[in-house]
């Protein structure tokens, strides 16, 4: 396996899939964007489904690193919970922001591709577990974690559809209220 070629292909496919959708992008377009031969592309990824799985794995890593970097920069447990929404605010400012790549993948491919549906569910469950750990660290009740996670999910979808960054701040404000109520502050 040639890691340099593999990385170029995944990066090119990720950009194309995220911008245009999975169904709209063929392997020829990925080949051209990655600057590799079709033979090299298929050597690394014998099928488009395998490439999609690799792209989603990369998105999961990118998401995890981004959220954790924002949260880990803060020591106060309650403020760490709110840092998730600060990460969203930064992300929504990206010129190429088109919403959550996992939600996009599920909406486009989930009903017909059980592997994609499974990967998306694993990612979303992992995020919920992460938020649950942050809630526990802040001394909050278990019931708070899914509430905060759904605020983040809703902000992503709303920001993508509305084309504005405002849902991050709105979700953060709602999270502040939920946290204060749950912690009796």
Residue 172 has a pLDDT of: 98
Q: CA-to-CA distance for 6 and 101, rounded, in angstroms?
A: 20
- Local structure of 37: helix, strand or coil: coil
Q: Domain range spanning residue 70? A: 57-183
Query: pLDDT class for 31, splitting at 50, 70, 90?
Result: very high
- Say if 31 falls within a structural domain: yes
DSSP E strands, 7-157: none
Q: Are residues 146 and 76 in the same domain?
A: yes
Work out the average pLDDT over 15-24.
95
Q: Are residues 62 and 145 in the same domain?
A: yes
Q: Are residues 39 and 79 in the same domain?
A: no
- Least Cα distance to 130 among 80, 184, 62 occurs for 80
- Whether pLDDT at 1 is above 60: no
Q: Are residues 41 and 67 in the same domain?
A: no
- Say if 51 falls within a structural domain: no
Q: CA-to-CA distance for 73 and 79, rounded, in angstroms?
A: 10
Work out the average pLDDT over 34-62.
95
Q: Are residues 69 and 146 in the same domain?
A: yes
Give 122's contacts (C-beta < 8 A, 6+ positions apart).
none
Work out the average pLDDT over 49-64.
96
Q: Are residues 27 and 63 in the same domain?
A: no
- CATH number of 1's domain: 1.10.10.60
In the chain, % of residues over pLDDT 90? 95
Q: Are residues 82 and 150 in the same domain?
A: yes
Token pair listed for 97: 């922001």
Q: Are residues 42 and 93 in the same domain?
A: no
Q: Are residues 35 and 105 in the same domain?
A: no
Q: Are residues 104 and 28 in the same domain?
A: no
Count of structural domains, the chain = 2
Q: Are residues 63 and 143 in the same domain?
A: yes
* pLDDT tens, residue by residue, 69-118: 999 999 999 999 999 999 999 999 999 999 999 999 999 998 899 999 99
Please answer whether residues 48 and 27 qualify as being in contact, where contact means their C-beta atoms are separated by less than 8 angstroms: yes
Taking CB atoms within 8 Å and a gap of at least 24, the contacts of 144-150 are 144/178, 144/179, 144/182, 147/178, 148/81, 148/84, 148/175, 148/178, 148/179
User: pTM, whole model, 2 decimals?
Assistant: 0.92
- Say if 52 falls within a structural domain: no
Q: Across all residues in the chain, what is the average pLDDT?
A: 95
Taking CB atoms within 8 Å and a gap of at least 24, the contacts of 60-68 are 60/102, 60/119, 60/123, 60/126, 63/123, 63/127, 64/126, 66/91, 67/127, 67/130
Give 42's contacts (C-beta < 8 A, 6+ positions apart).
27
* pLDDT tens, residue by residue, 159-181: 999 999 999 999 999 999 999 99
């Amino acid at each position: 396996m040639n890691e340099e070629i593999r990385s170029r292909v995944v990066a090119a496919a990720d950009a194309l899939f995220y911008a245009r959708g999975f169904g709209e992008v063929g392997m020829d377009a990925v080949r051209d964007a990655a600057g590799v031969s079709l033979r090299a592309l298929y050597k690394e990824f014998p099928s488009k489904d395998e490439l999609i799985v690799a792209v989603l794995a990369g998105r999961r890593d990118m998401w995890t690193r981004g959220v954790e970097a924002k949260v880990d920069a803060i020591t106060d447990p309650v403020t760490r919970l709110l840092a998730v929404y600060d990460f969203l605010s930064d992300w929504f400012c990206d010129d190429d922001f088109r919403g959550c790549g996992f939600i996009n993948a599920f909406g486009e491919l989930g009903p017909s591709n059980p592997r994609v549906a499974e990967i998306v569910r694993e990612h979303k469950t992992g995020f919920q577990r992460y938020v649950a750990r942050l809630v526990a660290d802040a001394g909050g009740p278990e019931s708070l974690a899914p509430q905060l996670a759904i605020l983040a999910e809703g902000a992503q979808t709303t920001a993508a559809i509305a084309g504005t960054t405002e849902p991050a701040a709105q979700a953060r404000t709602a999270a502040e209220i939920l946290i204060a109520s749950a912690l009796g502050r």
